[in-house]
Structure 1
Amino acid sequence: MLNIWRLKLLVQFQTLGTMQRVSEMMHTSIAAVSQQLNLLEKETNLILFEKVGRRMQLTPEGQSLVNKIRPVLNQLESIENSLTDTSEEVQGTVRIAVFTSALEKVVIPAVSQLSQLYPKLQIRLTEMEPDISLPALDAYQFDLAIVAYSEKPHLLEQSHRKVIKLGHDRLRVLVSDKNPIAKQSHIGIESLKAQNWVLEPDGTYLCEYTKNLCRSAGYEPNVINVVQSYLSMHSMIAQDLAIGILPTLAIIESIQGIHMIDLQPEPTRDIYLVARKNTTTTRAMKIVMDTLCHRCQSIVDLCHE
């Protein structure tokens, strides 16, 4: 009989692309993952991997096995879910991956509400950006992912996913009250050429999006500060050390000394709830999804009043 754990590792490799990504997701060593997949090759008597350049990839036989395994894993997951869905009380575990700015204002209040209403329902939260959370969702590490997308939303659509659009969130310019442009209620990105900027590290969603906005106006932003957290970004802006762009959900309104300016034309990002279709039929998942949808839509509406 084939080992289910090894089959899951194979599916995760197909989803994540490298042994290292699989090991990180499974909190184990690369050597352990490689050993288990080597044993799977022996169990199946198939060559599942081949080396192309410096990278390992699935052979046609490996890809064919993954295509056969996914429906089986989905069915097993559905059976497991059904076993916890027989009680009169809502129970079970729902694992959610959520991007940073939605965690505090959307998900934590929703989970707090759910924990009071359904004490036997366990919800596990992981703060994670979309480029990581979506592959992790497909690799069975999470049951739900809340993601924000500004471009190519069609990439979210996959035959095995259920995608719900929750709304959209606009991006705004944050400046110190001491900055001369703080007198303006709206501004074009081209008018920010002379400003100093604070951004997240290169490669992050907001950093790349901000740079692309500036480049579309014909200049490279003068980035003098790079920070990991939105709180640090707010602090620097309040002290007039730089300006920044943040989505409305990420703005900490309690910090004094910051003025918000609307960008014209107004850039927005769409917010989605994503799940694997086979997991959405249980009472626990339906309740969690409905609560998250209601909470997110109410917050998004408030952000746009």
Structure 2
Amino acid sequence: MLDVRRLRLLRDLARLGTIAAVAEAHTYTPSAVSQQLAALQREAGVALLERAGRRVTLTPTGEALVRHTEVVLAALEAADATLAAARGGLSGTVRIGAYPSAVRTLLPPALVALARDHPALDLMVTELDPVDVPDALRDRRLDVALAHDYDVVPTAPDPALDSTPLLAETVYLAVPATLVAETLADVRQADWILGSPGTLCHTVARHACQLAGFRPTVRHHADDFTAMLALVAAGQGVALVPELAVGRPPEGVRLIPLDLRRRTRITYRKGAGDHPAVAACVAALHAAARDHAPVLRPA
């Protein structure tokens, strides 16, 4: 019988690319990871790994085993969900991750409802960028997370994760009130305020400008939409701001709705959707999204 913990290491090697990265993710030494993978290969009785220069890569059989591993891990999550439902009552720690504007708007009422209806749950919140959500869920640092993508930059499905749509928001072009503009093309000569390189907001803004036929001139980087709006009000440039992040914009900012949507999903490990604690979080977040603002459209 193959060892599930070793299968998880093989899966993570396929995902992360190096033994050093797998070791860091699991707080092992690289030597320990190598030993565990060698033991897995002996258990399998066929070659799962091969050398490619100084790196170790998966053989076709190893890649096939990774696909089976995803199924096995999902089945274990489903089994855990079944046992939790049989025990009855909701208790224990639930780690919830979300992007900043959701932490500020959607999570507080959901947390209040969960604490009221399920007082034995220990709720822990982590704020993070959506690009970091998949790894945090796979590594079990999170149990439930709000992640988003944009219709112009869709995210490919992750074989280790399941999700349910939550909402879709209009994205606005925020411009100084004195600037004459109605479309993205009208601000091709303007300075831009973007998120930090590597964030989804940064990628989306650049891609949206490219679709409009130009490359943005980036003057400032800010990862907080409130800071972006303040810079826009100060005449420092223009920015893309999704509906949840608009709040009460400062004086001197005009918001132009674009044909661009940010789409939020509630995400969790595959197989965990029927876990009572996960289901309770999903229900509370859906209620919070419905109550937050009538203008937000269910996804």
Report the TM-score when normalising by structure 2: 0.82
Q: Deviations over 1:202-235 (max 9, x none)?
A: 2322222222222333332221112343343233
Tell me what 1:155 maps to.
Answer: 156
Aligned pairs for 1:1-305 within 5 A: 2-28=2-28, 30-52=30-52, 55-138=55-138, 142-150=142-150, 151=152, 153=154, 155-156=156-157, 161-176=161-176, 179-181=177-179, 187-253=182-248, 256-264=250-258, 266-299=259-292, 301-303=294-296
Distance 1:161 1:4, change over 3 A: closer
Change (3 A) 1:251 1:134: same
Give the secondary-structure state (helix, strand or coil) at the position aligned to 1:235.
Answer: helix
- Pairwise CA RMSD: 3.1
**CA contact under 8 A between 2:175 and 2:232: conserved in structure 1?**
yes
Gaps of 5+ in 1: none
How many residue pairs match? The answer is: 296
CA contact (8 A) 1:156 1:163 kept: no
Change (3 A) 1:238 1:57: same
Q: Is the CA contact 1:16–1:22 (under 8 Å) kept in the aligned structure 2?
A: yes
Moved more, 204-213 or 10-19: 10-19
Q: What letter corresponds to residue 256 of structure 2 in structure 1?
A: D
Separation in 2 of the partners of 1:5 and 1:83? 21
Matches of 1:60 and 1:299, distance apart in 2? 49
Specify the code of the residue in structure 1 equivalent to 2:109: P
Distance 1:235 1:33, change over 3 A: farther
TM-score w.r.t. the length of structure 1 is 0.80
Distance 2:282 2:80 in 1: 19
Distance in 2, Cα, partners of 1:141 & 1:190: 42
Question: Which whole-Å CA distance do the structure 2 matches of 1:170 and 1:121 have between them?
Answer: 34
Deviation at 1:172, TM superposition (A): 1.0
- Compute the displacement of 1:149 (Å): 1.8
Report the alpha carbon displacement of residue 20 of structure 1 after superposing the two structures with TM: 4.7
Is this contact kept in 2: 1:189–1:263, CA < 8 A? no
AA aligned opposite 1:215 = Q
Percent identical residues: 26
Q: How far apart are residue 168 of structure 1 and its match? A: 0.7
Distance 1:70-1:263 versus aligned 2 partners, 3 A rule:
closer
SS in 2 for 1:51: strand
User: By how many angstroms is 1:10 displaced?
Assistant: 1.8
For 1:201, what is the secondary structure of its paired residue?
A: coil
